[in-house]
């Protein structure tokens, strides 16, 4: 486990020789080619197998990105290859690297530095999260929240806002809500899902502002608070055809 206040780049490589080579290359890049705001809190931790990384990702929430050895990916078992698809599901910033890319000529090095800078941009805004353990479903929802009024003469007044939104997924634990709203001063929301008769109280676990990442939709990840048996039963039924 990393020290308090730090985050982790997971280097997944099994071969000892490649591991030693990669660790030196990426440690140097972290020192030389990273923004101060990233490198001051980021460390590189090695995992020798996809399975060990996925287990760590399920148990902890300090893994901000992945450097994946392409040779290991091709040598993985069928089960591990399927597990690697979870990297996309989790939307974890990932750099896939070959030995040639890491230790090649000037052109290979330039390609690597470009991919590294891309990774650092994504890592800086990525909100670490554990493995998803619930079934998912896309649907339209209504969302309500309180925010500061921006109208003249109403400074300091909180108003209720209601809007329609879409979620890539609804699970028993929460969902990601696609939204271009400004969530800077909002930490709690309620959502209406399907024909469930009661609003569901939620805490915003992470935020991805519009334009922060050109590869991902903007929005918020929310966790459902105080899940009742009534809600659990409804969601189980709602997700059956996912």
Give the model confidence (pLDDT) of 199-236 as tens digits. Answer: 999 999 888 888 777 767 888 989 999 889 999 898 88
Distance (Å) of CA 75 to CA 8, 56, 79, 89:
24, 21, 11, 21
Report residue 51 as tokens. 């399975």
Residue 230's pLDDT is 92
**Nearest Cα residue to 68 out of 97, 108, 26:** 97
Q: Provide long-range contacts, Cβ within 8 A and 24+ apart, for 102-106.
A: 102/21, 102/22, 102/25, 103/21, 103/25
For residue 18, report the phi and psi dihedrals to the nearest 5 degrees.
-65, -40
pLDDT of 156 strictly over 70: no
Q: Which is more confidently placed, 102 or 34? A: 102
The pLDDT confidence band at residue 34, using thresholds 50, 70 and 90, is low
pLDDT digits (tens, 9 = 90+) for 8-32: 888 999 889 999 999 999 888 888 7
Domains within the chain, CATH numbers bracketed: 7-125 (3.40.50.2300), 139-238 (2.40.10.220)
Maximum CA pair distance of the chain?
Answer: 67
SS3 163: strand
Q: What is the side-by-side order of every strand in the sheet holding 7-12?
A: 42-47, 7-12, 63-69, 94-97
| Pairing assessment for the beta strands 94-97 and 63-69 based on DSSP bridges | parallel
Q: Strands (DSSP E) along 35-182, which ranges? A: 42-47, 63-69, 94-97, 139-148, 158-170, 174-178
| Pairing assessment for the beta strands 188-193 and 42-47 based on DSSP bridges | unpaired
Give the helix/strand (H/E) hosting 80.
Answer: helix 78-90
Residue 126's pLDDT is 74
pLDDT of 104 strictly over 50: yes
- Mean predicted confidence (pLDDT) in 33-50: 76
Count the neighbouring beta carbons within 10 Å of the beta carbon of residue 230. Answer: 11
The pLDDT confidence band at residue 136, using thresholds 50, 70 and 90, is low
DSSP class of 184: T
- Listed ranges 131-135, 155-159, 193-197; the one with the highest mean pLDDT: 193-197
Q: Which is more confidently placed, 199 or 3? A: 199
The proportion of the chain whose per-residue pLDDT surpasses 90, expressed as a percent, equals: 18
Report residue 125 as tokens. 């805004």
The pLDDT confidence band at residue 153, using thresholds 50, 70 and 90, is low
């Amino acid at each position: 486990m990393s020290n308090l206040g730090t985050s982790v780049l997971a280097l997944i490589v099994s071969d000892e020789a490649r591991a030693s080579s990669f660790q030196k290359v990426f440690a140097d890049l972290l020192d030389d080619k990273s923004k101060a705001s990233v490198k001051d809190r980021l460390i590189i931790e090695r995992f020798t197998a996809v399975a060990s990384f996925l287990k760590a990702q399920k148990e902890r929430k300090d893994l901000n990105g992945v450097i994946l050895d392409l040779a290991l990916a091709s040598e993985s078992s069928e089960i591990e290859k399927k597990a690697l698809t979870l990297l996309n599901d989790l939307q974890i910033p990932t750099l896939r690297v070959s030995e040639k890319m890491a230790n090649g000529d000037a052109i290979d090095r330039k390609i690597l530095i470009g991919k590294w800078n891309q990774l650092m941009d994504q890592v800086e805004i990525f909100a670490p999260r554990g493995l998803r353990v619930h079934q998912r479903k896309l649907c339209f929802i209504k969302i309500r929240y309180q925010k500061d009024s921006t109208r003249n003469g109403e400074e300091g007044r909180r108003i209720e806002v209601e809007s329609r939104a879409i979620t890539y997924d609804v699970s028993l634990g929460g969902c990601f809500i696609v939204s271009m709203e400004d969530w800077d001063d909002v930490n709690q929301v309620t959502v209406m899902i399907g024909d469930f008769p009661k609003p569901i109280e939620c805490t915003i676990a992470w935020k991805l502002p519009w334009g922060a990442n050109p590869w991902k939709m903007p929005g918020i990840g929310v966790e459902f608070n105080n899940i009742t048996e009534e809600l659990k039963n409804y969601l189980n039924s709602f997700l059956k055809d996912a």
